[in-house]
């Protein structure tokens, strides 16, 4: 498994996420999961598989060490794409329509996401997922992730302390607000949508 580069410069998300945090988060934490995974799968049939197949095989075989590190590798890759430099932060088109259908309006979606992220206890992830024709907010603990389930992840926020502690210390709510108002890559979220009708026919 390779440790992918960030899709932007380390300082691209400043002042909301510092270069120092991004270097630590990407170069140490994310890389650490990839390296641990590679050690665990070396010389096994897992070593030949793409990451998403490693995840589904490890789930099926209850290989918890492989599964947790593979999920963290996948979740972090998805996290980098979920954020973008400020200025691309309003949903439009189909994803905006779906947010309005599922949550009422964008402000209510943000309020519900903020509340889920702020009240989540411990380390984990807060997701916007597509569930058929609906969008939902989902929280998962530790490495857990909707990847490979019936829910389709659209975007994610990392609420492990390593994601925000250097910049925000214990003020998780300020980090959540920066994500919601300045960092979400709505183009990425929209590109992850699928059409339930098309999937049924296929």
Report if residue 81 touches Fe ion, rule: CB under 5 A. Answer: no
Q: Of the listed pieces 12-20, 112-120, 156-164, 190-198, which binds Fe ion according to CB under 5 A?
A: 156-164
Q: Which residue is nearest to Fe ion (CB)?
A: 158
Report if residue 175 touches Fe ion, rule: CB under 5 A. Answer: no
To Fe ion, the closest distance from the beta carbon of 7 in angstroms equals 16
Token pair, residue 76, equals 């972090």
Residue 190 backbone dihedrals phi, psi, to 5 degrees: -65, -35
Residue with Cβ nearer Fe ion (160 or 186): 160
Count of CB atoms situated within 10 Å of the CB of 166: 15
- Could you give the string, one character per residue 7-46, with x where binding to Fe ion holds by CB under 5 A and - elsewhere? ----------------------------------------
Report if residue 158 touches Fe ion, rule: CB under 5 A. Answer: yes
Residue with Cβ nearer Fe ion (34 or 163): 163
Place of tokens 């934490």: 29
Q: Is 114 within 8 Å of 171 (Cβ atoms)? A: no
Q: Of the listed pieces 83-91, 114-122, 160-168, 182-190, which binds Fe ion according to CB under 5 A?
A: 160-168
DSSP code string of 136-196: EEEEEETT---TTSSSEEEEEEE-SGGGTHHHHTT-HHHHHHHIIIIIB-HHHHHHT---H
Q: What is the dihedral of CA 13, 19, 20, 24, to 10 degrees?
A: 80
Q: Which of 16, 46, 160, 188 binds Fe ion (CB under 5 A)?
A: 160
Q: Which residues pair with 190 in a beta bridge?
A: none
Residue with Cβ nearer Fe ion (103 or 164): 164
Per CB under 5 A, residues contacting Fe ion are 158, 160, 163
């Amino acid at each position: 498994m390779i440790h992918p580069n960030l899709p932007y410069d380390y300082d691209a998300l400043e002042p909301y996420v510092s270069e120092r945090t991004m270097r630590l988060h990407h170069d140490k934490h994310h890389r650490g999961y990839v390296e641990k995974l590679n050690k665990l799968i070396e010389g096994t049939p897992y070593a030949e598989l793409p990451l998403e197949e490693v995840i589904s095989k490890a789930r099926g075989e209850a290989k918890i060490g492989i599964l947790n590190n593979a999920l963290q590798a996948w979740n972090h890759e998805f996290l980098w794409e979920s954020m973008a430099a400020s200025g691309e932060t309003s949903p439009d088109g189909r994803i905006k329509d779906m947010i309005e259908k599922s949550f009422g309006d964008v402000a209510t979606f943000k309020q519900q996401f903020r509340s889920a992220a702020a009240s989540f206890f411990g380390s984990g992830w807060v997701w916007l997922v597509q569930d058929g024709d609906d969008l939902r907010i989902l929280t998962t603990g530790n490495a857990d992730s909707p990847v490979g389930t019936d829910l389709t992840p659209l975007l994610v926020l990392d609420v492990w302390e390593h994601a925000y502690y250097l910049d925000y210390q214990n003020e998780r709510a300020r980090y959540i607000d920066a994500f919601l108002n300045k960092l979400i890559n709505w183009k990425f979220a929209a590109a992850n949508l699928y059409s339930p009708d098309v999937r049924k026919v296929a």
